[in-house]
Chain A
Amino acid sequence: MKPTDASSTGRLSRRDFFKGLGTTAVAAAAAQAESVAQELQKLNAEKVLGPGPVPVTLKVNGKTHRLELEPRVTLLDALRNHLGLTGPKEGCDRAACGACTVWLDGVAIYACQKLAIDAQGHEITTVEGLTPDGRLTPVQQAFVERDALQCGYCTPGFVMSVSALLRKKPKPTVDDVLHACAGNVCRCGTHPRVLEAALIAAGVRPVSMTRTEVISHV
């Protein structure tokens, strides 16, 4: 169900509900907050914070957000439930499935196994931040063309892993893609399509690999 359909019938979609939770935090974003963040970090060094909510400043997709979070809040929870960014998904919550993959300073990490308070001072990028203008990146376009998804829950994580690889290595080999995506799991079994999409996005001609051959690698 599209969010617009939900609002036209006067109901609130699940996604809108979660996004609404984050509006106060988003409104608090300000251009000056970045220097505030650095100042806060200096002031907070060697000070014991929490366990109750404490100021946490996160730079996400180029915008700075000031939040009040308990130290135990993970980066994934902060992104989804406080900033309304539902691109990163919660799957295992144990650094095992890859659905929550985001970038920290341009490299892929699991947002579920990082504390939000520990992500301060870094540039965080979610799948929403890849396309600020709403257009698809070549990687996303290749996922669409190769139909590299079924239910789609793992897709944002895969897109972030593949995109991080192509930043580091624009012309990857099959093994490079498998190595970079080993930490993302697709329960629908679309791994062969993801591999093809990654190679197409990189302009590398996909080798012919059977589904079984690919699955035996992942």
Chain B
Amino acid sequence: MKPFEYATALTVESARQLAGANGHYLAGGNDLLGRLKDDITEASRLVNIKAIPGLNRIEPGPQTWRIGALVTIAQIEDHPEIRRVFPGLHQAAAEVGSQQIRNVATLGGNLAQHSRCWYYRHRDIQCLKKRGRICYALEGDNRYHALFTGNVCISPVVSNLAIALTALDATAVVWRDGQERRMTMAELYELAWDNPTAHHSLRPGDLLLRVEIPTVRPRSAYLQISDKHSFDWALVSCAAAARIENGRIHNARIALGCVSPVPHQVTAANQFLEGKNLDEATADQVADLLLAGAQPQEHNAYKIPMARALIRRTLLQLRG
């Protein structure tokens, strides 16, 4: 790693000021230190945000849970009430990295992590996402890339928690310009849809404070398929959340991961589910709606049948 300065912030505002123009916030550091080691990211200063009070709490509530950005993935995975109230979030956390990573990685870092595209992560390649002129994945090895995109870059969002939290319709609370700004999960990533250099909608200096999760969907599930059985990013992931009454599904949300630069949602698919019985026929129709318009590349067409299987398994898991 190239040399950098280091500071520990005690408040959100001082973190913002210490970070300045070319500083980076340091929490778990898994993604950031990896990028610094490979010269993907330059930093004149790292600002340790772990001493800021109040960002590491899990606060249950009857209508809404608040989970601080500094809560570790292991804390989410091991929390018995989260497992009961938001099983999909528990499942997504359990699939993150390895035990060593989950023990230090934070919710905020998981949501804000950069693309895993191997062209982006290659120190010698100046791709579109690194403000170069070409997306090398388009003509290259794109087996891990997106089926949908609003721009030329086809690297997908890989945060597990983003997909689970999208299905649970969580709100991200971000510190921007001296005040709290609330974003839906769609808003937290929408910039990456149009802008090839964006990984999410956070601007330099923005600090994720917490997510707020409504409890209106007591059933939730997250499933992924990876090359390896464990300690791997998903090839495709799927999360769904809903309320089920008398065998019928209500207020459902379903999202796919690793197929788009943003958590992939289709309003028509969510609306179609309203009041339906959860069976394979329903799941197949939801898959048609979610995957309509998919544009596979040379090496990633397998993601379409894989996504169909995951949609079916995830929805059927909601039945309990």
Contact = CB atoms under 8 A, between A and B. Distances in A.
| A in complex with B | yes
Contacts, number: 112
B9 to A, nearest CB: 6
Interface stretch (B96-104, B184-192, B284-292, B302-310): B96-104
B153 interface: no
A93 interface: yes
B46 A182 contact: no
A72 B1 contact: yes
Interface string B22-65: 00001001100110110000000110101100000000000000
B294 interface: no
Contacts of B1: 72
Interface residues of A, number: 43
A179 B95 CA distance: 10
A164 B74 CA distance: 13
B231 A72 contact: no
Most buried by A among B6, B34, B97: B6
Given A95-B34, A182-B231, A216-B229, A115 B6 contact: yes
Nearest to B229: A217
A182 B98 contact: yes
A101 interface: yes
A182 B99 contact: yes
A167 interface: no
Interface string B144-178: 00000000000000000000000000000000000
B8 interface: yes
Contacts of B18: 46, 48
Contacts of B14: 46
Contacts of B37: 93-94
Contact of B34 (A71, A113, A115, A217): A113
Contact of A48 (B6, B99, B231): B6
B30 to A, nearest CB: 6
Contacts of A49: 5-7
A113 B6 contact: no
B230 interface: yes
B8 A45 contact: yes
Interface residues of B, number: 37
Nearest to B17: A46
Contact of B8 (A46, A50, A108, A216): A46
A110 interface: yes
B144 to A, nearest CB: 16
Contacts of A50: 3-6
A218 B229 contact: yes
A34 interface: no
B29 A179 contact: no
B2 interface: yes
A165 B78 CA distance: 13
B73 to A, nearest CB: 12
B21 interface: no
Given A46-B7, A47-B7, A71-B5, A114 B104 contact: yes
Nearest to B103: A107
Given A41-B8, A74-B33, A115-B46, 15 more contacts: A44-B8, A46-B14, A46-B18, A49-B6, A52-B3, A71-B46, A95-B30, A95-B34, A95-B97, A95-B101, A98-B98, A109-B104, A115-B33, A181-B99, A218-B230
20 contacts: A41-B8, A45-B51, A47-B7, A48-B5, A48-B7, A50-B4, A72-B36, A95-B97, A95-B101, A98-B100, A113-B34, A118-B29, A118-B50, A161-B99, A164-B99, A178-B230, A179-B230, A182-B98, A182-B230, A217-B229
